[in-house]
Amino acid sequence: MQVTASDKTSGQALASLDIVLPVASEADCQNCHALGEIGADSNRRPDVDFIFPDDINDPNDVLQAAKANILRLHDNKHGTDIDNQRPVLCAGCHYSAALDLAGNGGPVGKQVGHAMMSQVMHGHHGELRDPATDQFIFPENGTLEETCYQCHPGKVTKCLRGAMGGAGITCQNCHGGMLAVGGIHDLPAGGGLDRGNDGTTPRQPWIDEPRCESCYAGDSNDHLGDTIRLSQTWESGDPSATPRRADNKRFAENPAKLYRNSLGHGGVACEGCHGSTHAIWPNAVPGSNDNVAAVQLQGHAGTISECSSCHTTLGLTLDGPHGMHNVNNPAWTEGHESFYAQNPGSCRACHGQNLEGTALSRIAADRDLKTDDNGPIHLVKGTEISCTLCHKKP
């Protein structure tokens, strides 16, 4: 999709950008609920009249038949008659904050008294076992293909396809297992988006979500754990998978707001520089659609890190996003000494306590820099910038 900014008076296009919308219609209910599969097996459930698709070669027809089989299972278990009331929106009875377009903030009407959509889906399926093996159908430590991608957009859409997925981070690393997502276990006191949980209630679906600060838990001066970056948002052994909170808020979302609703540098949305949830820039596939917007804005994929993407002129500063200095600016290369003299900690925060570089000082693209003693040097993307690349340590 292309977004264009136009002059209000003349209608003349001023700027445009090609983007990817974070939506998908891919669903895979048929993996379990197509006739003959484990969730629609007439031999195991002769009491349910499962249906066969009219055209087994039509993926949509197979999916629709699987959905009808789900309704018949629901009718059989709960004594309802929803198969004869199609089309059925599950969220009509099971509240989902993701579909609360009216902003009710909780269940209303038929939803009152029923568990939330995410709770019934993740909680129910997370406890299911295969009668033939007595093993969980969705293994607690299973791969994405064995768990989340059985239902969520995965095989085609690959909803976990951004920087996190490229680094080997899984859905469970951020969200926990299915029972944690389903709210089977209460959050500890102080857990949740607004930290108001008293320790006796489960997570709120779509609200009590993982936080950036849970892994980007500070800088070299002050951070959680043994490393600057962690690879799991919650503490191992916590069945509720409650996202940890960092004392150093350099990379945190706004208080009581999700990443997708948070604003940062100059009021710019976090997603405006980092990309949308689950497709955070860069996508590891160089030519992917996800990378197009960043390439158009700054000439290379990844987080928008080039000041020139938005600024035409800019003095030397440490007031960039997350406290960054000017990027790819010869004036900064030549004039940063005074900033170190005034506040050495501001440099060590990203360049390390020994000033030899950290993950926070990696360059986002190939650079050519001038040095004091050794002439120009060429640095490749990903190099951790150290003082000693250009001169002696201060």
Mean pLDDT of residues grouped by 10 in the chain (394 residues)? 96 95 85 95 95 94 96 97 96 95 94 96 95 92 90 86 92 95 92 82 92 96 93 95 95 95 96 94 93 97 96 94 95 92 96 97 93 83 93 87
Q: Which two tokens stand for residue 298?
A: 């700054």
134: phi then psi, degrees, rounded to nearest 5:
60, 20
Whole-structure pTM value: 0.91
Q: Which two tokens stand for residue 99?
A: 């579909």
From first CA to last CA, the distance across the chain in angstroms is: 49
DSSP string, 27-69: --THHHHSTTSTTS-TTT-TTS-----S-TT-HHHHHHHHHHH
At residue 214, the pLDDT reads 95
At residue 192, the pLDDT reads 85
Report domain extents, the chain: 21-88, 307-389
At residue 262, the pLDDT reads 98
Q: Are 362 and 384 in contact (CB under 8 A)?
A: yes
Q: Is 296 helix (H, G, I), strand (E, B) or coil?
A: helix
Q: Which two tokens stand for residue 247?
A: 């004392």
At residue 40, the pLDDT reads 96
Residues contacting 386, CB < 8 A, separation 6+: 351, 352, 355, 356, 357, 361
| Helix, strand, coil percentages for the chain (3-state, nearest 5) | 30, 5, 60
At residue 371, the pLDDT reads 77
